[in-house]
Structure 1
Amino acid sequence: MPVTVLITLGSSKQAKHLIPILLAQPNESYHIKAFCHSLTSGTKLLHEYGQPHNLSIVVGDQNNPREVAKVFQNEHVDVVYHISPPFSVDEEHNGINFIKAAQTAGVRHFIYSSVLHPFRMKMVHHHAKLNVEEYLAESTLNYTVLQPTHFFQNINVKAAITDGSLSVPYNPDNEMGFVDLRDVSQAAFKVISEGPRHYRARYELVGDNQPYRTITETISSVSGKQVTVQRGEAAQVARVMSKGDKDAYERAIRMFVYYDSWGLTGSTNILEWLLGHRPTGAEDYVRVALG
């Protein structure tokens, strides 16, 4: 019987890297249920993967505990892979909704995609994730917490080469942790497939630590085209990221101020252990991005 995995943000960047790995396993050994906020986004997701038999969508509102609970009442779920909408003021509420529903349903394994160093509570969205981690640890569920840092995929290498510059809304000389979404998805699949080996674990997922200035030097070196780093306007970037949501704007601004003061770095050892090989570094990612 296939293992049913509920991914709670089916159209997210993480989901779009994890779903293909689950679909690629032999004998349709996994059935993936993608929780989507609308029928439109869910239908688009199904078509993106060719409408396979072992991928289905569930439409609902993460903010509504009744709608979340209804998913578990109507569907068998073995594993939950929980991802919250980024910078949402409801992030803590969403997480608790899914944890409570999974407890009631007797879900085998709850995997929470958190953030690197949630204890850095000067950033509001980190604090929210820390509260969800605490609630999960105090639940009766078998759980694993994954703590990825910034995704390399947020760097548009080709656009930087075309523009001749990469804009960063904080100090580009501060070291930042980065991770490739492909590595995150491989680590997530390991946790899903090995289950009990990872119960009650919290894993930092960092592939490389580099200042943005060094990354632009790497882009220049690999591409043969000069790329410089530019200090962008934090408020303007936050406005674009938040899409008019005042709470999301506040969270983004606080994050930029924090990065400008301290950066955000972590150890690459745990991800290397999970993968069984060295994680993707900045130069590796640039080469892949350039094909």
Structure 2
Amino acid sequence: MSAEPRTGPAAPRTPVPETTARLRPLRAEAPVEPPTSENLGAGRPFVSFAEPELFLPASSEPYGGDTVRSVGRRGRVAAAAACFVLGLGLIGGAVTGSWLTGDGADEPGSRGAFAAAGDLWHSVPVDRLFPPTVQGDGAGPGGADRTWTRVAVAPDSDCKDAFDPLLRKALAPVGCLRLLRATYTDATRSHVTTVGLLFTKADAVAMTSLKSRFKTEGLDRRTDLMPRPYAAKDTAAADFGDAQRGSWTVSVLTDAPVVVYAVSGFADGRTVSAPQPAADAIRSGATTTPAQAGLGHEAQGLADRVERGFRKTIVSATEKPS
């Protein structure tokens, strides 16, 4: 975007809020073509309201001349009426389907909102995606409240070194457009948690397929598919490496091209020999080290609240002015 020519002294710069790097916006989706016999595919002709062509018997012997003309007229009227009713039914069905699937241009879950969500990584301030402080009312063990404070924000990046090889392979079908990460500590500064937003290159169908695969194959519970933490020097997370990972969660969204994840561990650099997925660590009666230390609640609670905030951001970005 070219700058306008200056005609006077340069105006003082206004401070710009912290944002993720701004790259060239993604190219908008091509407009949807109107239905034709070619794009609907063989066996699915496009239904219009034109008067249908009638095929009468080649011989009029069974009826007689006048009868044939009468039947032809009545047939044309009846067929036209039936086509009209069928057309109304198709339109009504299409409208109902739009209501059920949320295909409104700016409704949450619509194609427009899905595309808009994919652009938010470079157009929304960091503080909206990863707030400096996150309140977790009832997010701790036994329903205890939690407060997380952000200690580091990673530069937006690709996914080359952000995931273990097998997790990177599992996520490959949806691609990696950009990865945003931030690391938080709890109020006692004894736990650290990295939360990430992976913006993919996929459409809704691919995201739904990936979510189904994670669920059916249990990919979100495998210790060889844990996300990696983001450790920053001179912070409480300075010693938060791969060996310190204690609990994690991965959530594949289907109404946005985004994967939300979180991984937690001890701030003192303690290693965890048996990490446990957050879904298991937060269960009542769990006795593993991650469960007893509350690491599952840290990962799940923070991921949930970042995801909720992201969904609110999508709604705000797609709202039409009143």
TM, length-normalised to structure 1: 0.23
Higher strand share: 1
Higher-Rg member (1/2)? 2
Higher helix share: 1
TM, length-normalised to structure 2: 0.22
